[in-house]
Amino acid sequence: MRHIALEEAFSVPQWRAELDWDNLPIGRELVATWTRKLRDMTEYRLPDMDEHGIDIQVLSLTVPGIQLDQAASAARDNARVANDYLAGVVAEHPTRFRGFAALPMQDPKAAVEELERAVRDLGFRGALINDHLGGHYLDEPRYDEFWSALEELSVPLYLHPGAPPADSWKVLEGHPEMYSAAWSWAAETGGHALRVLFGGVFDRHPAATLILGHMGEFLPFMRSRLDSRYGTFTPENPLRHRPSHYIGTNIVITTSGVFSPAALTGAVLEIGADSIMFSIDYPYETTADAVAGLANTPLGDEDRAKIAHGNAERILGITV
C-alpha cells in the first residue's frame, strides 16, 4: 500500500543543532544519531523509506525552527534560507519529497508573504510552525490575515510542538521525563489548538485546516467532554457550533509518534477515517513501528488506504 508521511523533520546542514537536548534525559548517542539523520536525505532517509514502503515524506524544519529567533529580521531571513534549501531537496527528489514552509511568525505580514512564495513559487503543500511564539497564539487578531491566506491558498497549517516554553509549569519541576514529547508538548499544543477553536478562528475562516500530530494531541478523545463543559458556559462570543464540530473537520490529525492500534481505532471511531493521516515523526520515531501500527489496526481496506495516503493526497493536494 502507498504511504505518505507528513511529520518528517530535517535540518539545514550548515546550521547548528537547533534543539537544546541538554535539559532532557536523552542519551548523547541517540542525539548524535538524530542529528545525522536530520541533515541527511540519501544515506539514511531514502533507504529507510524504501525498506518500509514510504512513498513520500512531507519535510518540515525540525524544532524549534524559526521560532527560536525573537528578532523579526532574523526570522524573515532564516525562513527564506530554510525554505530555499528545502525546495532544492524536493527538486532533486520530486517523486519522494514534498515540503511544508517554515514561517517568520514574528512578523505576521512577512509570514503571509513567505507562505505565498513557498506555495506559489516553491510548490510547498502548506506550512508547519512550532506552537506559540513567546506566548503569542494564533487566535490573536494580528494573525487573522494569515488564516485568510491559508484559506485562499487552500493549504493546511501543521501546528507542531516544540517552541521554547513561554512560562514555568510547576507540575514539570523535578521530572524532566514529563517535558517535551513524552507529555507536556501534547498538552501545550492541544491547548493552543483549543485557543484557536474557542477564539472563533474557524467561524471566521471556515475553510481553514489545522493539522495536529501525535493522534491529535489528546483532543479527539476529549470531544464529548468539551461539549459537555462548553454547554455550561456563557461565553461573550459563542461559537456557531459545539466544540466537537471543529475536531475532525477544521482540525485533522496524524498518527505521528502514536502507533497504538487501539488509539488509532478509537480516533477513527471518534472523528472518522477521513480526518486522520499517517505520519512517522522521523527521525525521532521508528518507521517500522509507524507502519506496523497502521497495519495492525482492525480497519477495512478503504479506511486503511485513506489514512495511509488518500487523505494526505486530498488535504495537501499531492498528486502522484
Q: What is the pLDDT of residue 14?
A: 84
Model confidence over 283-318: pLDDT tens digits? 999 999 999 999 999 999 999 999 999 999 999 999
Q: What is the pLDDT of residue 57?
A: 98
Q: What is the pLDDT of residue 113?
A: 98
Cell numbers at residue 33, please? 544519531
Rounded to an integer, the average pLDDT of 40-45 is 97
Round the average pLDDT of the chain to a whole number and report it.
94
286 burial (CB, 10 Å; 0-12 / 13-18 / 19+) is middle
32 or 24, which is more confident? 32
Q: Choosing from 22, 144, 281, 303, which is the catalytic residue? A: 281
In this model, does residue 88 exceed pLDDT 70? Answer: yes
Model confidence over 188-241: pLDDT tens digits? 999 999 999 999 999 999 999 999 999 999 999 999 999 999 999 999 999 999
Beta strand extents in the chain (DSSP E only)? 4-10, 56-61, 97-99, 127-130, 157-160, 210-212, 251-254, 276-277
Cβ-based neighbours of 175, under 8 Å, separated by 6 or more: none
In this model, does residue 56 exceed pLDDT 60? Answer: yes
224 or 133, which is more confident? 224
For residue 237, the domain's CATH number is 3.20.20.140
Rounded to an integer, the average pLDDT of 174-191 is 90
Rounded to an integer, the average pLDDT of 261-272 is 98
How confident is residue 17, by pLDDT bands cut at 50, 70 and 90?
low
Domain of 105?
4-316
Q: What is the pLDDT of residue 236?
A: 92
Count of the separate structural domains present in the chain:
1
Q: What is the pLDDT of residue 228?
A: 97
In this model, does residue 139 exceed pLDDT 70? Answer: yes
Cell numbers at residue 95, please? 517523486
Cβ-based neighbours of 227, under 8 Å, separated by 6 or more: 242, 243, 244
Active-site annotation holds for 303: no
Q: What is the pLDDT of residue 312?
A: 98
Q: What is the pLDDT of residue 23?
A: 61
Task: List C-alpha distances in Å: 1 to 45, 229, 240, 242, 302.
Answer: 19, 41, 39, 36, 11
